[in-house]
Amino acid sequence: MHPTPTSRVFKYHSSHIFLMLIALVLSGTGVALAAPVPSPPSIAASGHLLIDFDSGRVLSEKNADQRLEPASLTKIMSAYVVLRELKEGNISLAEQVVVSEKAWRTPGSRMFIEVDTRVSVEDLLKGMIIQSGNDASVALAEHIAGSESTFANLMNEHAHRLGMDSTHFVNSTGLPDKDHYTTAGDIAKVSEATIREFPEYYPWYAEKEFTYNKIKQHNRNKLLWRDDSIDGIKTGHTEAAGYCLVTSAAREGMRLISVVMGTSSENERAKQSQSLLNYGFRFFETHRLYAAGETLNRGRVWKGDKEQLAMGLAQDLYVTIPRRRSKDLRAEMSVEPHIMAPISKGRELGRVTIELDSDAIANVPLVALEQIHEGGILRAVTDSVLLWFE
């Protein structure tokens, strides 16, 4: 059993002091007060979610865990699976895919590929991402997994790995099926993973048009034309699912993801998504307080080949807070009182807690940033005596 942690407040580095000071807006008469945060806008949708990409903080939600039909939002996962195959070297962008009759006959939106022709993986991906081509989705699914149903199994495996516990796919397109469902929260997870894991391909989601077979089609995400900060992600529509839109935007170093499902029209899904994004950017700000691997504390190690151990975080720590409140953040660290060697790198030795108005807004493990081996006999005896007196 580990000893009971002790607790103390630790000092910010100069860079962190700067982060807190930039929230102070100076005027001729003094410091501007923090603006109050109003309730989120009322969203006319079956379900919605607004989340910060870096911190994961939910800024607005309604029915985010309710099972809903995803329509073509499904293709976010379909594209994710294909991009994983590319990243792992199982396929290449230049690889040629033979179009089956099933892919050619798939109803709904299409990029107009023709049966028995060869189309590159890159063109099919762009046809699926930009044009929302159902025919492209099926062609890629069959090429990668042999059949669309087997590809759907791959989709479900990735969904499980990403923690999409209320999702089940039976096809690559989003065509209606009683066993094909997801939630706004789950769709946000695969959207976040797409942005984080595939920065070299994510810009395709911002492309406004794509031409194949001399047919030019436009991206159905109307917000790409209305707001330069928006760079994705995907639209969806069926009669049963309504009009859906997953949007991501980046402004001043802050990225938000909004998911709106089950609205009444194309204009409505765009309007509701824009409303969510404007709310998030207007009233909140995101800061990286500490970088992964940054030394936050040095602790005494007993019976080791070194007396001091560097401790920090395994991942960057971001917080999303109301605007102009960074000066009010309080950081506290709890550390094991007696750290005994051996210590493996990455071992949890305490916690770092960030508080705002006495509420914990982040609580993450404090870990060893290096490995400490057991010391020699002399070190063990000396430290045993010191510990006895302590």
Rounded Cα distance, 47 and 184, in Å: 6
Could you count the other beta carbons within 10 Å of the beta carbon of residue 252?
A: 8
From the number of C-beta atoms within 10 Å of its C-beta (0-12, 13-18, 19+), residue 184 rates as buried
The single-letter code of the amino acid at 336 is: E
Q: Where in the sequence numbering do the catalytic residues fall? A: 72, 75, 132
SS3 180: coil
* 8 A C-beta contact, residue 262 and residue 241: yes
Rounded Cα distance, 349 and 79, in Å: 39
Classify the phi-psi angles of 340: left when phi > 0, otherwise alpha if psi is within -120 to 50, otherwise beta: beta
From the number of C-beta atoms within 10 Å of its C-beta (0-12, 13-18, 19+), residue 27 rates as exposed
Rounded Cα distance, 131 and 38, in Å: 37
Take residue 53 and report the two structure tokens written for it.
């990409």
Residues paired with residue 61 on neighbouring β-strands, in sequence order: 49
Residues paired with residue 285 on neighbouring β-strands, in sequence order: 321
Q: Could you give the angle at the alpha carbon of 237 between the alpha carbons of 233 and 239, nearest 5°? A: 165
SS3 57: coil
Rounded Cα distance, 247 and 65, in Å: 18
